Amino acid sequence: MSGRDWRVPVLTYHASTVGGPGYAGNDHVAFASDLATATRLGWRIVPLQWVVEQRLGLAERDLARCLALSCDDGTVLDVRDVEYPGQGLQPSLLTLLEAQPGQPDRHLTCFVIACAQARARMDRDCLHGLDWMGEDWWAPELAGGRVGIGNHSWDHNHPVMHEPGPGGMPRGDFHVVDDEPRADFEIRQAADYLAARLGPGACPLFAYPYGHAPDFLVRDWFPRHGASLGLQAAFGTQGGAVGAGSDPWHLPRYVCGLHWSSPEQFEDLLAGLA
C-alpha cells in the first residue's frame, strides 16, 4: 500500500482498567480477545512509530491491513503481570502481546506521565497504592525492543494535583494548556525529563491527556517547538484511522471502551476499515 490510499487504525487501551472478569470492564481481557480477532482476520500489528514515519514521508512500507497498539498513563500493568486486588492475576498487555502467534512485528507504545509526584499521587488516589506507576521499567522495556515509551505530559493536568498549574491553570482538563508557559510546563518539561532518563529522541511521540487537543498546541506550539524537543507527532482519541492526510499533531486513535466495548463491536470496527 503506497501513495495516498493507506489507512492504519491505532488502538488504545488502559491497563489500569480492571473492573471485573468481563470484556467490557477489563482492558486485559479485551486486549487478549482483540489480538486474537485481529490475527484471525488477517490484520498485522506494526509499531506505532512505523505509522508516524509513513505519515511524515520518512519511510515507505506496505501497511495494508495493519494496525498499531498503544496504552495510556504508564502503569506497570502495561508490562508486568500483577495480582490485582479482588480480581486475581492479570497478565500484562505485553505478556498477552508476546503470546499472540503470527505477529512478528508486534509492538506496544506506552504513553507515560513524567512527574514522579503526580504518578505517586495517582497511584495512591486512583489505584491501590502499590507503586504501580514507577519508572523502573521504562528503560529496560524500551531496550527490549517490543515496547516504545511515549510522552503523556508532565502530570496529565490531573485533579490529584490540587495546586493550580502555571498562571492559575485549573486541573482536570488539558484544553486549558493554551499558552507558552502552560505548554512548556506540561510538554517541554516532560520531554526533557524523558530525554534525561531514556536518551535524546527516545520518546518521539506525544498523546494528549484525556484526548484533549487544544488548537494552540495543534496549530501553533507543536509546529514551532516539536522538532526541537525530539517530537514527531501527537495523538488524540477522536477515532478514525491514520492516513496520508492526517494532521501529524492530532493523529486519531480508537479507544477501548469508548469506540468499542465488545468483541462484536471490535470486529465491526475492523470490518469498516478493511
Which residues, other chains included, contact 255 with Cβ-Cβ below 8 Å and sequence gap of 6+? 12, 13, 211, 237, 239
Angle between the 263-273 and 27-40 helix axes, to the nearest 10 degrees?
40
Burial class (CB in 10 A: 0-12, 13-18, 19+), 225: middle
**pLDDT interval class at 1 (50, 70, 90):** very low
Alpha-carbon distance of 141 to 266, in angstroms, equals: 28
Phi, psi angle pair for 162, to nearest 5°? -70, -30
In this prediction, residues 128-151 reach a mean pLDDT of 98
Per-residue model confidence as pLDDT tens digits over 80-122? 999 999 999 999 999 999 999 999 999 999 999 999 999 999 9
What integer pLDDT is reported at residue 110 of this predicted model? Answer: 98
Q: Residue 3: is its pLDDT beyond 80?
A: no
Classify residue 179 as exposed, middle or buried by CB count within 10 Å of its CB (0-12, 13-18, 19+). Answer: middle
How far is 62 from 65, CA to CA, in rounded Å?
Answer: 9
Q: Write out the CATH class of domain 7-273.
A: alpha beta
Note the pLDDT of residue 274.
Answer: 84
| In the predicted structure, residue 23 carries a pLDDT above the cut 60 | yes
Q: What sign does the CA torsion over 251, 256, 258, 259 have?
A: positive
Residue type, 180: E
- Average pLDDT (30-56) is 98
Strands 88-90 and 82-84 turn out to be antiparallel
Q: What percent of the chain has pLDDT over 90?
A: 98
Burial (CB < 10 A; 0-12, 13-18, 19+), residue 149, is buried
Burial of 231: CB neighbours in 10 Å, binned 0-12, 13-18, 19+: buried
Q: What is the pLDDT of residues 215-259, one digit of tens each?
A: 999 999 999 999 999 999 999 999 999 999 999 999 999 999 999
pLDDT-based confidence at residue 2 (cuts at 50, 70, 90)? very low
* Mean residue pLDDT across the chain: 97
Per-residue pLDDT at 5 = 80
**Residue 145 φ/ψ region, left for φ over 0, alpha for ψ in the -120 to 50 degree band, beta for the rest:** left
**Contact 39/65 with Cβ under 8 angstroms?**
no
Task: Give residue for cell 508486534.
Answer: 106
- Provide the residue count of the chain: 274
Written as nine digits, the cell of 213 is 487537543
Asked whether the predicted pLDDT for residue 4 surpasses 70, the reply is no
